[in-house]
Amino acid sequence: MSMLSVRNVRASFGGFLALDDVSLELKKGELLGLIGTNGAGKSTLFSVITGYIPKRAGSVDFLGENIDGLSVHKRVQRGLARTFQVPREFSQLTVFDNMMTAVPNACGELLFSIFFQAREVRRQQAENADKVSELLAFLNLSRVADVPAGKLSGGQKKLLELGRLLMLEPHCILLDEPFAGVNPVLIQEISERIVALNSKGMTVLVIEHNLDELSRLTPRMYVMDRGRILAEGAPDDVLRREEVREAYMGGVI
């Protein structure tokens, strides 16, 4: 069944046509890759899908329903979550607090509950704290739980972003260049976590620059170039195609 259905999307960004008639299908439970040269429009596509940038034409359906009019946070509430190319951790909060902030619909976020339901708020906090500890262990971040997130390494920040995402218990996660700027050891860790999540049924769409890593990771991928989808299929197939090799001949992968 379809998780994400992007059809004929056109979008302008900074005055030029960033996405030109782009279509993409993400199936439930899939681990899908999206690769392309610099400026191909990958992040723009993410931003259109998640609602950060408006599109000029086309449609985006999530879990069979059109989400075109929805604001960013409403899309996330429906279960569509993303990470960012440059990590957006809450630098002044500890890793632990970063995770706790992600809890959806905590009753402690309601002023009424804070004033009149203190015990319930405390109980929920304890419950969430347990969940956070579990996830931090899964991500191998337990050691740095009390460190301000701004002090983490690039790779650790990416893991933290992933962790925050998982607190949301989303249906589908979009990872924007999870390996960029990360040292090889952590790339391995991140890769393993992604595979582990997917094997448990999480639907994942990954943008990457790093051709090698992505080919190893995703059984199917789309290739983008200058705002259009060039090709789609298994990594081996796709990378053998004429048009793809041409696009990459001068381009940076």
Count of CB atoms within 10 A of residue 118's CB? 11
Q: Is 233 in the site for another protein (CB under 8 A)?
A: no
The rounded radius of gyration (Å) of the Cα atoms in the chain is: 19
Tell me how many residues contact another protein (CB under 8 A).
33
Judged by CB under 8 A, the stretch of 24-32, 57-65, 107-115, 130-138 that binds another protein is 107-115
Q: What's the rounded Cα separation, in Å, for the pair 180 and 167?
A: 23
Tokens encoding 89: 């951790």
Give the per-residue contact string, 170-209, with another protein (x = CB under 8 A; - = no): ----------------------------------------
Nearest distance from C-beta of residue 231 to another protein, angstroms: 30
Name the amino acid, one letter, at 240. R
Nearest distance from C-beta of residue 154 to another protein, angstroms: 16
Q: Is 164 in the site for another protein (CB under 8 A)?
A: yes
Applying CB under 8 A, among 3, 49, 121, 172 the residue interacting with another protein is: 121
Nearest distance from C-beta of residue 152 to another protein, angstroms: 14
- Say which residues have a Cβ less than 8 Å from residue 150's Cβ, sequence separation at least 6: 89, 91, 92
Count of CB atoms within 10 A of residue 157's CB? 24
Q: Is 169 in the site for another protein (CB under 8 A)?
A: no
- Say which residues have a Cβ less than 8 Å from residue 246's Cβ, sequence separation at least 6: none
Q: What's the rounded Cα separation, in Å, for the pair 197 and 207?
A: 17
Are 24 and 59 a contacting pair, CB within 8 Å?
no
Q: Which residues bind another protein (CB under 8 A)?
A: 50, 71-73, 76-77, 81-82, 84, 88-93, 97, 100-104, 106, 108-111, 114-115, 118, 121, 125, 164, 168
